[in-house]
Amino acid sequence: MTALCRIGVALAAWLSTLSAAAVAAPYDAAFIAWAKAHAVPLPACASIREGADYRAVAASLGSARVVALGEPVHGAHEPLALRNCLFRYLVEEQGFTAIALESGLHESRRLHDYAAGGAGDAHEIARSGLTWGFWRYPENIELLEWIRAYNLDSAHGRKVAIYGIDVSGGDADGAWARARVTLDEALDYLARAEPKRSAPLRENIEPFLERFSAPAYRALTERERAELRRSVAQLLRFFDTRRPALVAASSREDYDWAWQNVIAAQQLQALFDVLAAPDPEGRLLPGDYRADAARDTAMAANTLWALGQEGPRGRLLVFAHNGHVMNAHTRGGIWAIYEKPPAAMGVHLRRALGDDFLVAGISSPTRGDGADGPGTIDGALARVRQTHFLLDIRPASGAPARWLRGEQSVSVNYTTEGLVVPKKAFDLLLYFDQLTPSPSVR
C-alpha cells in the first residue's frame, strides 16, 4: 500500500469516526447508560380481555388522581393496546374510576350512557360518540365493551365512567359543522325541565344556531358575536340560578351534562373568535397558535370537570396525543412558524393539580413505514436496546438529568417533531421499538 493510500484510508477512518460521534453526541452517552440501568420492561398485552400485570407502572404513578398517557400519533395499535390493558389494571388494582379520551365532550355522553349499561350496539355508539374518526379503531370498541361489561357485573360496586374532553363538534376539515349540538343539547334539556321559564332563552339563541360553525361564525359582525356571547352567558346564569329546580325536574347527571354543554358552547365561541380561515394549501399560519391555545385550554377545563364528576375519590386516566398531555408549549417542527408557542393541556392541568397530575409520554423511533425518523428522545431510547419499556425520568440526576433538562426533540405524527425539555414535559417515558397501524386503518 502506498503512503498516499495509507493516508487516504486513515483519513476515511477518521471521518467515519467523526461522523459516528456527531450522530451519537445528541443522544448523550450518560443518559443512555442511566436509561439502560433503570428501564422497566413493559409486559406484553394484546387485548384488554387478557389483561396484564402492570404493578411496576402503577408504582411509578403513585397516588396521582389524574394520569395522562400520551400517544405519538393517532391510530397506532401499540399505544391503544397499552392504554386498554393498563386501564383495566388501574381499575381493578388501583381504584381508577374513569377514562377520558381526546374526543368531543358532547358526543361522549352516548359513550358514557352505554358504558353505564344503556342500550345500543357498541359499534354504532362509537360511531356517533367518538369524534375525529376514532370510532374506526377496534381498540376503542374493545375498551367501550369492556367498561360496559365491568359495570354490568354486580360484583363491582363502583362503576367506571368514560368521557370525551375535546372541543365538541369537531371534524377532519376544521369547519366544526356540528358545533351547534352543544346549544341544542342545553336548550332541549331546559325544554324538558322548565319549558316556560326557559322559552325566552331559546328565542335569543335560535337565530344563531344555524350560524354556529367556524365558517358561518366568521361572517358574523362583531355586534352579532357580542349578542351571541351575552345570550350564552344568560343561558349559563339560568342554569346556575335555577339549579335546584332543574335537578329536581330531571336528575343531577342530566343537569351536569347539560350545564357542561353550555360551557362547551362558550369554548367553541372562544375558539371561533381566534380561528382564522384555513390556508388553501393546508399549511399552518403564524397566528394559528391562538386556536391551539383555545383548544388545549378547553380540554384541560373538560378534564377537570370530568374529575369533579368522579368525586373526591375519583381517579382519571387521560389518553390523548403527546402534544396535548405534555407539560410544555408547542414548539419546533411544523409549529416553528407560530408567532408564540401555545400551552398544551398538560400545562394547565399541572398548574391546577400539582402533584396530583402525572404525564407519561410514549416514544417510538420509526415513522410507521419502517424508516427512521426519530427525534433525539426517540433516538436515545432506541439505544437502550429493549423492545418496550417504562422509564421514570424524575429520579435522574447528574449528567443524565442535565441532558433531560436540555431542549430535545420528539417525533410527532411520523412526519415532524416537537421540541421539549423532557424533565419538565414528562414524568415517565414509555417506549416501543415499532408502531403498527390499527387494523382498521391499514
Question: Are 302 and 346 contained in the same domain?
Answer: yes
The distance between the two most distant Cα atoms of the chain, rounded to a whole number of Å, is: 102
Strand partners, 431: 363, 389
Confidence of residue 26 (pLDDT cuts 50, 70, 90): low
Domains of the chain: total: 2
The separation between the first and the last C-alpha atoms of the chain, rounded to the nearest angstrom, is 55
User: What's the CATH number where 205 sits?
Assistant: 1.20.1440
Confidence of residue 367 (pLDDT cuts 50, 70, 90): low
Is the pLDDT at 24 greater than 60, yes or no? no
| Domain contains 150 | yes
What are the two backbone dihedrals, phi and then psi, of residue 299, each rounded to the nearest 5 degrees?
Answer: -60, -40
The model's pLDDT over 302-343, given as tens digits with 9 standing for 90+, comes to 999 999 999 999 999 999 999 999 999 999 999 999 999 999
Question: Are 334 and 429 contained in the same domain?
Answer: yes
| Domain contains 312 | yes
Contacts of 96 (CB under 8 A, 6+ apart): 67, 87, 90, 160, 315, 316, 317
Question: Are 295 and 365 contained in the same domain?
Answer: yes
Question: Are 218 and 159 contained in the same domain?
Answer: no
pTM of the prediction? 0.92
CB distance 436 to 82 below 8 Å? no
| Domain contains 384 | yes
Q: Would you call 116 exposed, middle or buried from its count of C-beta atoms within 10 A (0-12, 13-18, 19+)?
A: middle
Q: Which residue among 259, 277, 295 closes a domain?
A: 277
CA-closest candidate to residue 357, choices 433, 425, 410, 295: 425
CB distance 307 to 357 below 8 Å? no
> Which region among 118-132, 208-222, 275-289, 356-370 has the lowest average model confidence (pLDDT)?
356-370
Question: In the chain, what are the helix, strand and coil shares in percent, each to the nearest 5?
Answer: 55, 15, 30
Question: Are 38 and 128 contained in the same domain?
Answer: yes
Question: Are 395 and 323 contained in the same domain?
Answer: yes
Q: Which residue among 240, 256, 277 closes a domain?
A: 277
| Domain contains 11 | no
Average of per-residue pLDDT values in the chain:
91
Question: Are 162 and 179 contained in the same domain?
Answer: no
Of the spans 17-21, 46-50, 108-112, which averages the highest pLDDT? 108-112
CA distance 258 to 236: 10
Question: Are 58 and 137 contained in the same domain?
Answer: yes
CA-closest candidate to residue 430, choices 82, 88, 90: 82
Question: Are 182 and 227 contained in the same domain?
Answer: yes
Is the pLDDT at 16 greater than 50, yes or no? no
Q: Which residue among 277, 293, 321 closes a domain?
A: 277
CA distance 427 to 415: 25
Is the pLDDT at 3 greater than 80, yes or no? no
| Domain contains 383 | yes
CA-closest candidate to residue 298, choices 329, 324, 334: 324
Confidence of residue 414 (pLDDT cuts 50, 70, 90): confident
The model's pLDDT over 257-307, given as tens digits with 9 standing for 90+, comes to 999 999 999 999 999 999 999 888 889 999 999 999 999 999 999 999 999
Is the pLDDT at 427 greater than 60, yes or no? yes
Helix and strand numbers (H, E) in the chain are 19, 10
Q: DSSP assignment, residue 242? A: T
| Predicted local distance difference test score (pLDDT) of residue 2 | 40
Question: Are 423 and 291 contained in the same domain?
Answer: yes
The model's pLDDT over 38-65, given as tens digits with 9 standing for 90+, comes to 999 999 888 898 888 999 999 999 999 9
User: What's the CATH number where 377 sits?
Assistant: 3.40.1660.10
CA distance 386 to 375: 18
Q: How many CB atoms lie within 10 A of CB 420?
A: 26
| Predicted local distance difference test score (pLDDT) of residue 371 | 45
Question: Are 272 and 390 contained in the same domain?
Answer: no
Is the pLDDT at 112 greater than 70, yes or no? yes
CA distance 360 to 11: 45
**Is the sign of the CA dihedral 292, 294, 297, 301 positive or negative?**
negative
> Which region among 13-22, 239-248, 290-299, 414-423 has the lowest average model confidence (pLDDT)?
13-22
Is the pLDDT at 254 greater than 80, yes or no? yes
Confidence of residue 29 (pLDDT cuts 50, 70, 90): very high
| Domain ranges, residue 344 | 27-168+285-441
| Domain contains 21 | no
CA distance 169 to 343: 22
> What average pLDDT score do residues 5-16 get?
35
Confidence of residue 132 (pLDDT cuts 50, 70, 90): very high
| Predicted local distance difference test score (pLDDT) of residue 43 | 92
